[in-house]
């Protein structure tokens, strides 16, 4: 596919998709600042000049990558009420292992910087993740004494923070045990009622 | 204090402390890479030349800052069994607002990079945080169906990830409600027994 790229293909959706995929991988591995247009063009097998054609500048490419990965995350989990993918609480914890989560954490530092150009984009990203998670929490799994909104912030927070610990020291974090803990916590409330 | 700095003071513990405090603030605000020795020397009111004298290089300074902030976090919470600072679960959530947490999140991206020189330092940091949290969780607050270790990873993860969401969009995260949720979750298990 890459070797067949022609001048015409470079202005198509296919070349855009290849560039987004290459950039997502490189941003997650090396970080945003350390990745150059040359790196991205090389991995995608697309000429460097087509990047500004598609995205304007590097920031435009970053926003395209974030949007694309968010869609991957949202479509990768089953819609609310759909039983095909097993338990919604397990799905929430599956976020921890997603390549998209790896990217989101690598770029988090860029987003929290003062006057970061992607802060607003990250706010939308977190908001979309919270909505997706909240819509999938079974009504009975919100423990007494808390609200669906607060429980959702806690679950999304746990995904971010457990990923961070696991990524830094995989041998120190037992993901299966953490998943069991989430389940025990979520079910403890209703069961006591 | 700063204006009285003399050549002798610049080689003392006091000048080291001023440099660490200035660097911690600047790293948290601007990030590690964006902060120069000139910025740090200016804010500390200490001559730039004393930074290599104390820390060798910028990485040495970063490690000194991380160690210092970790000590601040660990001594800022009451020791296990000490009642003077209120409820241990509330203390855990207080971590979310600490300036040190702000710094740790800003620097997280540096730590997760491939071949990061501070990854091992971060592994120690997370490990120390988990030990501190685990030693403060009341025995009765670990819900049935989970282990103290997994519950601790989850709590430390929640602190990291709730901070990240709050920092990106403070208006979207109700910290009091999240704190209430943590309490409801931790207490739901034992109460049902």
Say how far apart CA A8 and CA A6 lie, in whole Å: 5
Name the closest residue on chain B to residue A171, using Cα atoms: B123
Above 50 in pLDDT, residue A192? no
> Tell me: the pLDDT tens digits for B144-171?
788 889 989 998 999 889 988 998 899 9
Do residue B185 and residue A113 have CB atoms under 8 angstroms apart?
Answer: no
Residue A64 C-alpha, separation from nearest chain B C-alpha, in angstroms: 19
Measured between beta carbons, which residues in chain A are less than 8 angstroms from residue B189?
184-185, 188
Measured between beta carbons, which residues in chain B are less than 8 angstroms from residue A152?
none
Distances (CA, A) of B44 to B22, B111, B144, B170: 5, 25, 50, 30
Is ipTM over 0.85? no
CB atoms closer than 10 angstroms to residue A72: 14
> Tell me: the pLDDT tens digits for B13-37?
899 999 999 999 998 888 788 899 9
Model pLDDT, residue A16: 93
Model pLDDT, residue B10: 47
Above 90 in pLDDT, residue B54? yes
In a 13 Å sphere around the CA of B191, the CA atoms on its Cβ side amount to 17
> Tell me: the pLDDT tens digits for A4-29?
555 555 468 899 999 999 999 998 88
**For the CA atoms of B12, B17, B19, B24, what is the dihedral angle to 10 degrees?**
160
Contact B85, B91 (CB under 8 A): yes
Contacts of residue B126, defined as CB under 8 A and 6 or more positions apart, other chains included, come to A164, A165, A168, A169, A172, B156
Burial (0-12, 13-18, 19+ Cβ within 10 Å), B69: buried
Measured between beta carbons, which residues in chain B are less than 8 angstroms from residue A33?
33
Size of interface A-B (CB pairs under 8 A): 206
Place of tokens 């902060």: B35
Token output for A122: 């990250």
- Give me the domains of chain A, ranges plus CATH numbers: 1-56 (1.10.10.60), 67-192 (1.10.357)
Confidence of residue A142 (pLDDT cuts 50, 70, 90): confident
Exposure string of A173-189, with b = 16+ CB inside 10 Å and e = fewer, is: bbbeebbbbbbbbbbbb
């Amino acid at each position: 596919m890459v070797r067949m790229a022609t001048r015409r293909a470079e202005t198509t959706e296919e070349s855009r998709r290849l560039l987004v995929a290459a950039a997502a991988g490189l941003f997650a591995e090396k970080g945003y600042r350390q990745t150059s247009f040359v790196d991205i063009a090389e991995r995608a097998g697309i000429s460097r000049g087509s990047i500004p054609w598609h995205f304007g500048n590097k920031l435009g490419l970053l926003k395209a990558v974030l949007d694309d990965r968010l869609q991957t995350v949202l479509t990768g989990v089953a819609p609310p009420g759909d039983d095909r993918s097993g338990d919604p609480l397990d799905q929430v914890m599956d976020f921890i292992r997603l390549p998209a989560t790896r990217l989101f954490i690598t770029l988090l530092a860029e987003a929290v910087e003062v006057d970061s150009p992607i802060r607003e984009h990250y706010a939308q990203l977190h908001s979309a993740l919270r909505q997706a998670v909240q819509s999938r929490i079974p009504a009975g799994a919100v423990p007494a004494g808390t609200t669906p909104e607060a429980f959702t912030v806690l679950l999304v927070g746990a995904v971010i923070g457990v990923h961070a610990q696991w990524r830094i020291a995989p041998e120190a974090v037992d993901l299966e045990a953490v998943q069991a803990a989430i389940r025990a916590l979520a079910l403890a409330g209703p069961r006591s009622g």
